[in-house]
Structure 1
Amino acid sequence: MKQRQLLFLLGLLFLFSFKGVTVKDTITGKQKIKSPVFSNVIYQGDDAIYKNNPLKADEFYSPILQGCYPDPAITRKGDDYYMVCSSFAMFPGVPIFHSKDLVNWTDLGGVLNNVNEFNPHDTGISQGVYAPGITYNPHNDTFYMIVTAFTGGLGNIIVKTKDPMKGWGSPIKLDFGGIDPCIFFDDNGKGYIVHNDAPDKGKELYQGHRVIKVWEYDVAADKVIPGTDKIIVDGGVDLSKKPIWIEAPHLYKKEGRYYLMCAEGGTGGNHSEVIFVSDSPKGPFVPSSNNPILTQRYFPKDRVNKVDWAGHADLVVGPDNKYYGVFLGIRPNDKDRVNAGRETFMLPVDWSGVFPVFENGLVPMGPKLKMPKGVENKTGKEGFFPNGNFTFTENFTTEKLDYRWIGLRGPRENFISITKKGLEIKPFEVNIKEIKPTSTLFYRQQHNTFSFSTTLDYQPSSEKDLAGIVCLQSERFNYVFGVTKKGNDTYIVLQRTENGQSTIVASAKIDIKKSLRLQVKATGDSYEFGYALNGVDFVNLGGSVSGDILSTNVAGGFTGALIGLYATAANDAQPE
């Protein structure tokens, strides 16, 4: 009798599962929810500046990394260049790129990709990890990546590898405070670390007063040598002018002298790059008389094709034996808002005199650069990272997911699986507004004018279930656009969250008979969300809405906007 009952129950379970409805687990009583499946994602950038400035055969575009790739640092070993950027609470931490020529870059993923060693699960989106440095040490044939981690009590850490293509070792915790560390190796193999810190206790003179410190570094033991720390810059170039946020230091050696290059002025409209010189890595350092050597702060705010906030730079010798600098900058939209975030730019650097100067770094920047001699522009081809206007198509047909897809506060692998139909996301019981890992696969917004669309196979089972697209600046500022349930009906809903307070912009009852197509389009500050029940004819929901909450101007923080494939079992976007 028990066997017949069991067979009957199993038959019911198979029948209900086949029909795609929710059933209850006979053992636990919990509901089994069919997870959403996303496929055929198309991101298309369409900025006017690229259409109006087509490339010639010997040119390439800057920024070289569009979207939220700020705080670049770069190093070279032979013909190989490696560049890292900040990632904050995105996962994996510290994106890293490789190039042979400074023009064509390959995405290698993230340096900090072991969640057991770097876990930003409980940090706001602008915390996690930022301002990395990367240095090749020829004396022991080792690469060092050093960074400040605002999670898990890590603080300043360093990781090492002989080959960045093959991954990195475990983080080594370093015993000093402050932020923005960088490591330097002298000709004799001796190591030094420079970083931003607060002034000595009781000596802070004004808001934003910071100092640059140097430590001697024990290369064999991988630790700073206690008692060797020294302040080498107090406040900035001219303390009497109360400069703010001297930070992001890098040490270089040229013709027997030591150069200390730093950002000054804060990472906004007053941002700049300045430089000092000394006969010793421990100072005293004397500022250049022609500082700043890079800034965009002197020009009209309403200039066309504006690049702004330039600073936080690093230098490297290029394949043509000339110097180049990478640095962050922003390209605001038509409302002068920063949605795409701080991006990685490049300029040639003239170091024929005593001090380096960024070529055209003190005039309004253009979108194009001359390539180093002998280099061919292959960006967007043969696996190289794209720039300019481009289309990125993802059908989720291979197990190796493009590194541009990232998680937030945790690995993407914790909630995704590749199926025959596409990408399946297992919904967490976490809302996008929570400071927890979310079941959202993110892609950076890389243009001010773009479209992002996806095909979704999904039937929500309750009002707590939602799947769709999220446009996110932070946990407190975002749009959620997705499918959910109200009673027995299925709805499409658009929710706006500003400063943690959510409102429903619009909702509509729909009847999903097959795959649903979702889309977000932006033209500068104007964002539009649409859905297509037949996969072709998009219906707008909510009209044109402002992208203000997706900008750092309104939301604050340090990141650019992210577009995500979102699924949750903790939905609070209730249709009206």
Structure 2
Amino acid sequence: MNRMKFEFTPLVNRRFALLCVLLTMFSFMGLEGKGQTKGKAAKNAPIFSDFVYEGKDEVYKNHPLKAGEFYNPILQGAYPDPAITRKGNDYYMVHSSFAMFPGVPIFHSNDLVNWTQIGHVLDRPSQLDVHDTGISAGVYAPDIEYNPNNDTFYMITTAFAGGLGNIVVKTKDPLQGWSEPNKLQFNGIDPSLFFDDNGKAYVVHNDAPDKGKELYEGHRVIKVWEYDLEKDQVISGTDKIIVNGGVDLEKKPIWIEAPHIYKKDGRYYLMCAEGGTGGNHSEVVFVSDDPKGPYTPAPNNPILSQRYLNPNRANKVDWAGHADLVEGPDGKHYGVFLAIRPNEKGRVNIGRETFILPVDWSGEFPVFENGLVPMEPKLKTPEGVENKTGEAGYFPNGNFTFTDNFASDKLDYRWIGLRGPREAFASTTKEGLRINPFPVNIKEVKPTSTLFHRQQHNAFTYTTTLDYKPASEKDLAGIVALQSEKFNYVFGVTKKDKDYYIVLQRTEKGQSNIIASSKIDLKKPIRLQVKADGDDYQFSYATNGTDLVNVGGTVSGDILSTNVAGGFTGTLLGLYATSANDAYPK
């Protein structure tokens, strides 16, 4: 099979370029999944233990929580493109996962403040085949909806990998797993479902304009289809364009996408992202008397955006958009959406995170409260809700510490693989986590033997103990800071002749160079650490467990930013092992 290669262009064009490539790839790919890469059992497989991730952002030090407050974002790190639904007092939220495996993380809450990750929607290779997919392709922009007419949850998404395209899965209980995917017969991206109270169902999604009617780069449309609930398929011939270009076609709006339909007071509201997932990102809304339109834009669009604000504002939040609405436990509406918190150089290493704001829907159209002014790091909890984040299994936010000695039989859901199941290479032992190294380098577009944790702060430390003696220069184990297969740092232990070395490798645009290396004594397990303070990263080791020695000085986090690397993911921090090492000591 021929593979197309591409480089990402600036943010406003990047998604268009990616979609074109993915659609081309999709046309060549069959429906059968490919087997996962598995290496032979290694006698000297590395053991990782005593893992500690600690966030140290100044914003949280300077804004301690008071009673009745919680931090925004509610999910830190690369949990973009949130979608949310409600059944009774239960809220469920899903997010894009691209080539990460398992795919589509899913969270549960009873109050919109305290969230628990209950797993992933696509957690089996039969549901998700991303084994040869670039990190920013794969699965993105999921929607989750509860249909009260048949008491069923649906997750619909675009999965340009494994020959799937747009798919839907469903379940009666999100805690009990999801069905195999059903392939949907339409093109485009960002599908969502709407279930009317009369029992009818619809799919809305982003698509290209009709052939020959493209007016400019980034020109997109929103389509609606009637949906057959018995066949789980759109009804052929029912498709209709309901938004052409965006709010005002004369202004050449780009990337109208991520549509959702809501019904309130007998009318239908269509909410979409507009402007591309970058500095011009926003949320807009339309209204109609019929789910299939015509739709009229609100006079006060956008209803959410952080564009055109002072670029030097404190605690900057930017790129806000791609939202979804839900009624909260206090009867008010709330909107979850993505946004970023850039570092001091404006770089986006953390990725696109999940934020929330109350929504004023007392008038005809919904408006995000304080969504058009600089966002604050704290919000008031809904009435009667107590902030318990970080306690009793609830997902933490703010500055927190996550430790893991891998003593449990089941890995924490925060640990993910890339392009393949964690179970293919990782296993827990009484000594810690054993990673069986694949003959795959971190730069290859294949499943890697790497267990990843998202970077969730601009300032953090990520530390682990490694018990390992490589057999040759082709063996390496350690930690990796990865924005993509073409942009990353590798920091690990390898061998040269009869000696052991610690080595730091930087890869930019797929080209690697050794920043520094040093001969080390491996009589005892070695402590490894990556530390960041904004754009400054440091990699260090300790052979006695405590006295850290820096390798390579302070290095730039530039290659770990989407501003430089392109794509849609945040930095992934990994425990890495390979038998295809190319980071050779100097």
38, 50, 61: which is aligned to 2:60?
50
- 1:220 CA drift (Å): 1.2
Consecutive aligned runs of 4 or more in structure 1 exceeding 3 Å deviation? 30-33
280, 291, 294: which is aligned to 2:290?
280
- Residue 308 of structure 1 corresponds to 318
AA aligned opposite 1:257: R
- 1:298 CA drift (Å): 1.6
In 2, the alpha carbon distance for the partners of 1:379 and 1:207 equals 43
365, 385, 408: which is aligned to 2:418?
408
- Residue 13 of structure 2 corresponds to none
Does the residue aligned with 1:435 lie in a helix, a strand or coil? coil
Does residue 213 of structure 2 align to residue 188 of structure 1?
no
Summarize the Cα distance change of 1:32–1:200 in structure 2 as closer, same or farther, 3 Å threshold: closer
In 2, the alpha carbon distance for the partners of 1:456 and 1:246 equals 47
Does the residue aligned with 1:405 lie in a helix, a strand or coil? coil
- Residue 164 of structure 1 corresponds to 174
RMSD: 0.8
AA aligned opposite 2:584: Q
68, 71, 77: which is aligned to 1:61?
71
- 1:32 CA drift (Å): 5.1
495, 519, 525: which is aligned to 1:509?
519
- 1:116 CA drift (Å): 2.2
Does residue 452 of structure 2 align to residue 453 of structure 1?
no
Does the residue aligned with 1:543 lie in a helix, a strand or coil? strand
Does residue 104 of structure 2 align to residue 94 of structure 1?
yes
In 1, the alpha carbon distance for the partners of 2:249 and 2:262 equals 23
Per-residue CA shift, 1:100-154, capped at 9, x if unaligned? 0000000012100111221100000000100000100000000000000010110
Does residue 558 of structure 2 align to residue 568 of structure 1?
no
In 1, the alpha carbon distance for the partners of 2:143 and 2:401 equals 31
Stretches of structure 2 lacking an aligned partner (at least 5 in a row): 1-39
Does the residue aligned with 1:49 lie in a helix, a strand or coil? helix
TM (norm. structure 2) is: 0.93
TM (norm. structure 1) is: 0.94
Does residue 299 of structure 2 align to residue 289 of structure 1?
yes
Per-residue CA shift, 1:63-117, capped at 9, x if unaligned? 0000000000000000000000000000111100000000000001210011122
AA aligned opposite 2:405: N
Contact 2:325 2:333 in 1 (8 A): yes
Does residue 352 of structure 2 align to residue 342 of structure 1?
yes
- Residue 361 of structure 1 corresponds to 371
In 1, the alpha carbon distance for the partners of 2:299 and 2:149 equals 34
Contact 2:501 2:517 in 1 (8 A): yes
Does the residue aligned with 1:429 lie in a helix, a strand or coil? coil
AA aligned opposite 1:288: A
AA aligned opposite 1:513: K
Contact 2:42 2:437 in 1 (8 A): no
- Residue 533 of structure 1 corresponds to 543
- Residue 72 of structure 1 corresponds to 82
Does the residue aligned with 2:225 lie in a helix, a strand or coil? strand
- Residue 124 of structure 2 corresponds to 114
Does residue 234 of structure 2 align to residue 208 of structure 1?
no
- Residue 142 of structure 1 corresponds to 152
Does the residue aligned with 1:349 lie in a helix, a strand or coil? strand
State the identity %.
76
Does residue 486 of structure 2 align to residue 476 of structure 1?
yes
AA aligned opposite 1:312: H
Contact 2:97 2:139 in 1 (8 A): yes
In 1, the alpha carbon distance for the partners of 2:104 and 2:293 equals 30
In 1, the alpha carbon distance for the partners of 2:42 and 2:412 equals 30
Summarize the Cα distance change of 1:31–1:133 in structure 2 as closer, same or farther, 3 Å threshold: closer
Does the residue aligned with 2:59 lie in a helix, a strand or coil? helix
AA aligned opposite 1:235: G
- Residue 26 of structure 2 corresponds to none
Q: Aligned pairs, how many?
A: 547
207, 232, 256: which is aligned to 2:242?
232
AA aligned opposite 1:78: G
- Residue 30 of structure 2 corresponds to none
In 1, the alpha carbon distance for the partners of 2:42 and 2:135 equals 31
Does the residue aligned with 1:118 lie in a helix, a strand or coil? coil
- 1:401 CA drift (Å): 1.1
Larger CA deviation: 351-360 vs 104-113: 104-113
478, 492, 505: which is aligned to 1:495?
505
In 1, the alpha carbon distance for the partners of 2:271 and 2:113 equals 23
In 2, the alpha carbon distance for the partners of 1:420 and 1:117 equals 32
In 1, the alpha carbon distance for the partners of 2:54 and 2:565 equals 25
- Residue 553 of structure 1 corresponds to 563
Per-residue CA shift, 1:485-523, capped at 9, x if unaligned? 011110000000000000000000011111100000000
Contact 2:41 2:436 in 1 (8 A): no
207, 213, 220: which is aligned to 2:230?
220
Does residue 138 of structure 2 align to residue 128 of structure 1?
yes
- 1:301 CA drift (Å): 1.4
Contact 2:329 2:382 in 1 (8 A): yes
Contact 1:33 1:461 in 2 (8 A): no
- Residue 17 of structure 1 corresponds to none
AA aligned opposite 2:81: D
- 1:31 CA drift (Å): 9.8
Contact 2:417 2:451 in 1 (8 A): yes
AA aligned opposite 1:358: F
In 1, the alpha carbon distance for the partners of 2:261 and 2:582 equals 50
- 1:33 CA drift (Å): 3.6
